[in-house]
Amino acid sequence: MEVSLILRIPYLIFEGDSLILRCQEKNNHSLTKVTYYKNSKSFSAFNQSSDVVIPQASLSNRSSYHCTAFKNIVWKKSNEVTLDIHDPGVILLGQARAQELQISKFWMEDSGLYWCKVETVSLSVSKQSRPIRMSVMRILISGVHMEVQPHGGHIMEGQKLVLLCSVIGGSGTITFSWHRKDTEASLGKKIQHSLVAEFVFSAVRESDAGKYYCTADNNSSLIPSHSVTITVRRNGKDSLAVGITMALISAFGLTVVLLIYFKKQKKSETSVDGDLVYSEVWSTQQGKEDAADASKKPPDDKDCSVTYSVVKKTETLGDSTGNSS
């Protein structure tokens, strides 16, 4: 026999939701003496078409339901319908009510117990899932490497110098530290959730030249890098200034030495004893020899040479001889 009476219930019901049961004829004709049954037992009856409303569904409402009614004078019965009440503490994947929390990066300090909790809008029902313990395994530090900018480690005094410390592998909080090899003292430290860190000399000095290295530590292993040599050259302007200063000092010193030398030579040549009889100065200019004339302007050094002549007395009586030098 064709069943024309239908019992309608929601497809998905969670504990605490409002539940409506509706008994109706297939073509929506008016019904009389409508009766609702739970597990084949009557629990609600009406003289005409009417719904059964359960304000807050509970797990106890999980049962088999059907209804009966009269259409005119014909008695009709619906099919059995099983009502399932879902626990809101259980996440149903693929359902509209399912929610998720994504943690993009899970660190060592995130280890612990996790659970979820749901409540109805009216707060009449609250459910909590079983806790799950999450444990994070720490990855040991590996592949510690240090490089410098500018590349090669050759830098002018006063420029910016960057020491980059990186690791290939490692998890958790990593402590980066930079050291100078001759002192071993730490120049600086950085603690961060990153595989790369940098230490900066804003203006490098000549005294900063030397060998440097870095270390990385995540409380499981401390690994040092290879060392990098930094050479610092003087600024070009400073070098030029030093060169000019040294040249001026050398020129001044040479001038003083020459002045002292010529002064001694002049004193030696003009010191003549009392036996002097005759002296004269000759100059040779452009291939000609002329006697020096004090009234005329002396010729330029580049155009002439000077000859000094001195005549002295001799020891022989009644005779004099001119000696030229």
> Would you kindly state where each structural domain of the chain is located, as residue ranges?
5-86, 145-233, 237-270, 272-325
Residue 165 burial class via C-beta count within 10 angstroms: exposed 0-12, middle 13-18, buried 19 and up = buried
23: its two tokens: 């008994």
Task: Specify the pLDDT at position 291.
Answer: 43
pLDDT surpassing 50 at residue 188: yes
At residue 5, the pLDDT reads 86
For residue 63, pLDDT beyond 70: yes
* Strand, coil or helix: 269: helix
Q: Give the β-pairing of 13-14 and 85-86.
A: parallel
Return the H-helix or E-strand segment holding 268.
helix 236-270
What is the pLDDT averaged over residues 47-62?
A: 88
What CATH homologous superfamily does 145-233 map to?
Immunoglobulins (2.60.40.10)
Q: What percent of the chain has pLDDT over 70?
A: 72
Task: Between 265 and 302, name the one with better pLDDT.
Answer: 265
Q: Is 19 exposed, middle or buried, given 0-12, 13-18 or 19+ CB atoms closer than 10 A?
A: middle
pLDDT at 258: 77
pLDDT one-digit tens code per residue, 277-310 = 445 555 555 544 444 444 445 555 555 555 555 5
CA distances from 288 to 214, 291, 300, 304, 306 (A): 83, 10, 15, 9, 12
Banded pLDDT at 320 (limits 50, 70, 90): very low
Amino acid in the structure at residue 274: G
Q: Where are the beta strands (DSSP E) in 272-321?
A: 276-285, 288-291, 304-312
Q: What is the dihedral of CA 66, 7, 55, 11, to 10 degrees?
A: 110
Please state the CATH superfamily assignment of the domain spanning residues 5-86 in this structure. Answer: Immunoglobulins (2.60.40.10)
3-state secondary structure of 258: helix
User: What pLDDT is attached to residue 102?
Assistant: 85
Same fold, 5-86 and 145-233: yes
- Weakest-pLDDT range from 49-63, 91-105, 127-141, 144-158: 91-105
Q: What is the mean pLDDT of residues 16-39?
A: 88
At a CB cut-off of 8 Å and minimum separation 6, what does 66 contact? 7, 37, 40, 77, 78, 79, 80, 81
State the DSSP code for 88. T
Between 39 and 242, the more confident residue is: 39
Higher local confidence (pLDDT), 6 or 251: 6
**Average of per-residue pLDDT values in the chain:** 77
Mean pLDDT along residues 151-171: 90
pLDDT of residue 83: 87
Q: What is the pLDDT of residue 323?
A: 43
pLDDT category of residue 91 using cuts at 50, 70 and 90: very low
Percentage, residues of the chain above pLDDT 90: 29
pLDDT bin (cut points 50, 70, 90) of residue 120 is low
DSSP state of 298: P
Beta strands at 161-166 and 52-54: parallel, antiparallel or unpaired: unpaired
Q: Which of 118, 123, 121, 81 is nearest to 101 (CA)?
A: 118
What DSSP string describes 208-236?
A: G-EEEEEEEE-SS-EEE---EEEEEEPPH
pLDDT at 70 over 80: yes
- Using the predicted structure, report yes or no on whether residue 226 has a pLDDT greater than 80: yes
pLDDT at 310: 54
- Compute the residue count for the chain: 325
pLDDT of residue 85: 82
The answer to whether the bond into 55 is cis (omega within 30° of 0) is no
Confidence of residue 322 (pLDDT cuts 50, 70, 90): very low
Is there a contact between 42 and 82 (Cβ–Cβ < 8 Å)?
A: no
pLDDT-derived band at 176, boundaries 50, 70, 90: very high
Distance CA(217)–CA(167), nearest Å, equals 10
Q: How far separated are the first and last CA of the chain, in Å rounded?
A: 162
